[in-house]
């Protein structure tokens, strides 16, 4: 299958082709360049009125309880993304490039979907069921983050992309505690999107589907086996 490798210098390991970013001193610019393009588009979509947009809802959403404690992993998503990106940049530059384009592709698809199919949900509780610090944190989040443009969930897609990046990183994947921590963070962040009512189950399903479809374009499933045997 043709991959993003065709846009960069190729490095063959015998059984697969990887993005060869070790010689690219400019790869650190990928993130600020993409952010300069992505953020204005995201802000524009956030300011768009969503009252006439499609409502995202599944029957299962009504059975999912609200749990304010999951605001912690939800907010840890930001540190998780930064940690994986920085660690990958300094430990396995070509996997860093793969991971970046894996994440950025999903984020671009999200923008396109949000522009073509404006959507929102009405799952958030009008009154927090419990009064505590964590509930207050959820309240603050939901006052600043509109319940619009929800699918596919970027919290979910980028968490999956981050964990896959860790598992393909030739340095990080040798450290079991890092792999386990990454998996726990990935799963808890995905659950948090549902349990603090930031997303519908539909958003999670579409994000997982998108991640699965995009995966073979950016990562060769033979990477880990090949490197382990080399």
* CB of 75 closer than 8 Å to CB of 21: no
| 113 lies in some domain | yes
| 119 lies in some domain | yes
Tell me the C-alpha distance between 86 and 90, whole Å.
6
Q: In the chain, how many domains are there?
A: 1
pTM attached to this predicted model: 0.84
Structural domain span for residue 175: 68-222
| 29 lies in some domain | no
| 230 lies in some domain | no
Rg (CA), the chain: 19
For 155, phi then psi, to 5°, come to -60, -40
pLDDT (mean) for 204-228: 79
Q: How confident is the model at residue 222 (pLDDT cuts 50, 70, 90)?
A: very low
pLDDT tens digits along 99-128: 999 999 999 999 999 888 888 888 888 888
pLDDT tens digits along 3-20: 444 444 344 343 344 544
| 115 lies in some domain | yes
| 27 lies in some domain | no
Q: How many CB atoms lie within 10 A of CB 50?
A: 20
Q: Please give the helix or strand (H or E) that residue 137 lies within, else none.
A: helix 133-144
The tokens describing 1, both together, are: 């299958």
| 11 lies in some domain | no
| Bigger pLDDT: 185 vs 146 | 185
Q: Under DSSP, is residue 191 helix (H, G, I), strand (E, B) or coil? A: helix
Q: Please give the helix or strand (H or E) that residue 10 lies within, else none.
A: strand 10-12
Q: How confident is the model at residue 221 (pLDDT cuts 50, 70, 90)?
A: low
| 37 lies in some domain | no
């Amino acid at each position: 299958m043709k991959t993003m490798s065709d846009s960069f210098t190729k490095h063959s390991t015998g059984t697969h082709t990887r993005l060869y970013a070790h010689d690219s001193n400019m790869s650190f610019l990928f993130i600020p360049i993409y952010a300069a393009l992505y953020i204005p588009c995201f802000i524009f979509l956030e300011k768009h009125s969503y009252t006439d947009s499609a409502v995202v809802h599944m029957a299962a959403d009504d059975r999912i309880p609200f749990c304010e404690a999951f605001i912690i992993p939800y907010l840890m998503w930001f540190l998780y993304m930064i940690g994986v990106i920085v660690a990958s940049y300094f430990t396995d530059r070509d996997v860093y490039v793969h991971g970046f384009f894996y994440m950025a592709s999903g984020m671009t698809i999200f923008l396109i979907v949000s522009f073509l199919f404006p959507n929102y949900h009405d799952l958030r509780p009008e009154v927090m069921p419990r009064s505590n610090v964590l509930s207050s944190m959820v309240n603050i989040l939901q006052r600043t983050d509109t319940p619009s443009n929800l699918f596919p969930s970027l919290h979910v897609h980028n968490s999956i992309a981050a964990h896959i990046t860790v598992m393909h990183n030739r340095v990080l994947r040798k450290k079991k505690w890092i792999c386990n921590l990454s998996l726990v963070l990935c799963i808890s962040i995905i659950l948090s999107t549902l349990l603090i009512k930031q997303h519908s189950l539909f958003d999670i399903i579409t994000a997982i589907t998108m991640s699965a479809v995009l995966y073979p374009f950016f990562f060769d499933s033979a990477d880990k086996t090949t490197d382990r045997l080399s």
